[in-house]
Amino acid sequence: MILKKELIKNELFIYTDGSCHAQKRTGTWVAIILHGVEKIILQGSEVNTTHNRMELMAVIKGVEYAGNNMDAGIVMHVVTDSQYVVGLPERRAKLEADNFITKQGKDLQNSDLLKILFYLFSNHTVQLSKIRAHQKHNGTINYNIEADKLSRGMMRQLIN
């Protein structure tokens, strides 16, 4: 998904990505928010984490920021390369019905972040779309590539 220069005033795009070094369990996340000509980059890191947690955190931080700093009722188009994140809305009813507990009676992994994400989805208009990961540059601006590079760059700095 490529962003046109002119956006409708009540819409914005949030490009997200997360990375995690599996052995060191250190992760980073990035959310790039585009609203009109404004570009806001949010980023962070965590220890003792997973890749899916970082993908979730990127979306949460982007939607939280937009919800707190943009006009009420704005439509947020979240673009992610995470199939895990994109598939969550269709799994929401079952996850909530099971109270975020596995069949073995344990807390579902990332249940803390899933609850926050679903709360945000209930209070904001969020549309998720999946983009292919690790695309090559083709001459047009692709903010998912930028988010990926920022996240991986932060990761390299943290683990070295």
Q: How far apart are CA 39 and CA 28, in angstroms?
A: 20
4 vs 13 pLDDT, higher one: 13
Bridge partners, 80 (sequence order): 130
And the tokens for 145?
């590539």
| pLDDT (tens digit per residue) in 8-45 | 578 999 999 999 999 999 999 999 999 988 999 999 99
Lowest average pLDDT, out of 2-16, 77-91, 101-115, goes to 2-16
pTM score, whole prediction: 0.89
Residue 7: which H helix or E strand, with range? none
Q: How confident is the model at residue 134 (pLDDT cuts 50, 70, 90)?
A: low
pLDDT at 141 over 80: no
Nearest C-alpha neighbor of 81 from the set 18, 138, 25, 30: 18
> Percent of the chain at pLDDT above 90?
77
